[in-house]
């Protein structure tokens, strides 16, 4: 599922919001403060939350495919830890 066009934020801004929230561990309120102070953007915490959820929905198939690929490539161990 791709980011839909009706969102207030574009895909680059959504990616930046995700980086601030997930990589830099900023709260939604801090992301709002950062965007206001540095970029002059006035977004609500609800909009920030909506952007994060939309990005999560858009990336879900990619993450799921990577998970399946990683699980297929692991060596199986028995219950006691021996191969």
Name 78's Cβ contacts closer than 8 Å, sequence gap at least 6.
Answer: none
Give residue limits of the domains in the chain.
Answer: 11-72
Query: What residue ranges of the chain have pLDDT lower than 50?
Result: 1
pLDDT of the residue at 3: 52
- pLDDT tens digits for range 24-46: 999 999 999 999 999 999 999 99
- DSSP codes, the chain: -PPPTTSSS-HHHHHHHHIIIIIS---HHHHHHHIIIII-----HHHHHHHHHHHHHHHHHHHHHHHHHHHHTSPP--TTS--
Residue 61 in tokens? 């198939």
**pLDDT on residue 1:** 47
pLDDT at residue 82, as a whole number: 61
């Amino acid at each position: 599922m791709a980011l839909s066009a009706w969102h207030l934020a574009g895909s680059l801004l959504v990616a930046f919001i995700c980086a601030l929230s997930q990589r830099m561990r900023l709260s939604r309120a801090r992301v709002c403060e950062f965007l206001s102070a540095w970029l002059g953007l006035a977004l609500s915490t609800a909009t920030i939350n909506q952007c994060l959820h939309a990005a999560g929905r858009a990336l879900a198939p990619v993450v799921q495919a990577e998970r399946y690929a990683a699980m297929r490539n692991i060596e199986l161990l028995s219950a006691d830890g021996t191969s």
